[in-house]
Amino acid sequence: MTRLALLLAGAFFLPAQTHPIEQLIAAARENSPELGSLLARGLPGMKGRDGAVVWGQDFLFAVESPEAAMVSINNQPPTPMRRAGTSNFWYKLATLRLGATHSYTYTANGRSLGAYEVAGYNPDSYPIPGTPQGKLSAMHTHTSRIYPGMTANYWIYANAGVDPDKPSPVTVWQDGETIAGDVDLLRLRLQLVSDNLVHKKLIPPMVHILIAPGTVGSKALRSTQYDTVSNVYGKYLLEEILPEVEKTYKLRADAYSRAIAGASSGAICAFNAAWYFPEQFSRVLSHIGSYSGIQWHPEKNEDGGYIVSHKVRREPRKNLRVWMSDGSNDIENQSGSWPLNNIELANGLKLKGYDFHFRFGTSIHAIAQGALDLPESLAWLWRDYQASNTQQRYEMEESERVKPLFRVSITNREAW
């Protein structure tokens, strides 16, 4: 994948010692003749989905199209975009508010070119002067035994302060290819956020394992790995991936010092791993979780992800701390309702007295809300962490205890 920073750092017409995204936005502001080539080389996957970069209140929207393109921001009427030189990239700079998510839709001749959301990032998602930076490893490739014939890539990001010879806390991130390298700047900004929070002593220095879903030949196994409700993926992490990582970094073995995170199918995957192995993972971060019937196979007597909330309600309480987020405009399809299933899970956690937090907004199926919340969600998950401890009994916060269960109301039709 193209590395944005390396590409833009050599752009002679832009000021030195500025962040790559600042440089790209400066090029757009000046309508630089190099902007088209920078967009082509510098933004991974620029096909309409991740076609936005943000720096402060500057939002650069860009899309590739042979025809003149338009953009609708936050459901406003579409406005024309400007062509980047003689390229097929079209762009628009906008000033939008921070602390919120913003939707956008690209069109050309009435055809949709893509729609998504972007975060108006909070301050801890930007470089803080004097903050030591962590270290990202090269890509590793693992061949699995538990998933025969499958290979998967992973990266390791170690915050400053991690000593390879001393056991460190660890977080496992699903869909790690979306976090490794500069693509992270367009989405979660995990590397920036975690470094800042470590510097501010809000989370401990830790090892982040960024693991991509696997493939067998050309067949993607993401849904099989992530959406299947079983203990198989957890075994894969514990028996294969973590031992590989420990050849480079020692990891703490106590669940108190281990977290697991993901978005969409990666979120239910993370929750399942902790559910089946609470003695190994006790902190869970779930964004836009796919607690639906994607891998429901009644002919094999296999339940789909909708069963997770019922397991929480009916099975003994486990010692887990869970941050969830979703939005009212998330997916509705034949596999289920993402908003309703997330609410069901949140209420299950509430009824059983779990230490949980549920952020329910209006977002679509996008990482923007999770990115906006990341400084808060990571600090919340790791609050009160003490390196000298190996366990803690998680209890629901009093601020949550006094709140009612989540209820559903109709907002887009007559209620009666």
- 3-state SS of 273-328? HHHHCCCCCCEEEEECCCCCCCCCEHHHCECCCCHHHHHHHHCCCCCCEEEEEEEC
Return d(Cα 48, Cα 115) in angstroms, integer.
7
The stretch 129-158 carries a mean pLDDT of: 98
Q: Closest Cα partner for 186 from 104, 85, 290, 83? A: 104
SS3 content of the chain, % helix, strand, coil (to 5): 30, 25, 45
Return d(Cα 305, Cα 303) in angstroms, integer.
7
Give strand pairing partners of 95. Answer: 58
The stretch 204-215 carries a mean pLDDT of: 98
What's the domain range around 317? 131-401
Residue 89 and residue 228 in one domain? no
Q: How many domains does the chain have?
A: 2
Residue 210 and residue 160 in one domain? yes
Residue 108 and residue 235 in one domain? no
Residue 237 and residue 375 in one domain? yes
Return the sign of the alpha-carbon dihedral for residues 62, 66, 68, 71: negative
Q: Can you give the CATH number for the domain in which 90 is found?
A: 2.60.40.10
pLDDT at 58: 97
Residue 285 in domain:
yes
Residue 53 and residue 169 in one domain? no
Residue 155 and residue 179 in one domain? yes
pLDDT at 9: 33
pLDDT at 331 over 90: yes
Q: How would residue 17 be classed by pLDDT, with cut points 50, 70 and 90? A: low
Which of 90, 120, 150 marks a domain boundary?
A: 120
Q: What is the pLDDT of residues 242-297, one digit of tens each?
A: 999 999 999 999 999 999 999 999 999 999 999 999 999 999 999 999 999 999 99
Residue 256 in domain:
yes
Residue 253 in domain:
yes
pLDDT at 13 over 60: no
Q: Can you give the CATH number for the domain in which 211 is found?
A: 3.40.50.1820
Residue 59 and residue 165 in one domain? no
C-alpha distances (whole Å) from 174 to each of 153, 321, 348 are 11, 18, 24
Which of 73, 100, 120 marks a domain boundary?
A: 120
Q: How would residue 10 be classed by pLDDT, with cut points 50, 70 and 90? A: very low
Residue 266 and residue 386 in one domain? yes
Q: What is the pLDDT of residues 76-88, one digit of tens each?
A: 999 999 999 999 9
Residue 168 and residue 141 in one domain? yes
Residue 411 in domain:
no
Q: How would residue 30 be classed by pLDDT, with cut points 50, 70 and 90? A: very high
The stretch 114-119 carries a mean pLDDT of: 93
Residue 415 in domain:
no
Residue 289 in domain:
yes
Q: Are 321 and 381 in contact (CB under 8 A)?
A: yes
pLDDT at 337 over 50: yes
| Residue-wise DSSP of 397-409 | -HHHHTSPPP---
Return d(Cα 13, Cα 163) in angstroms, integer.
40
Residue 290 in domain:
yes
Residue 135 and residue 37 in one domain? no
pLDDT at 137 over 60: yes
Which of 65, 95, 120 marks a domain boundary?
A: 120
Residue 164 and residue 275 in one domain? yes
Residue 84 and residue 42 in one domain? yes
pLDDT at 391: 97
Residue 410 in domain:
no
pLDDT at 48: 53
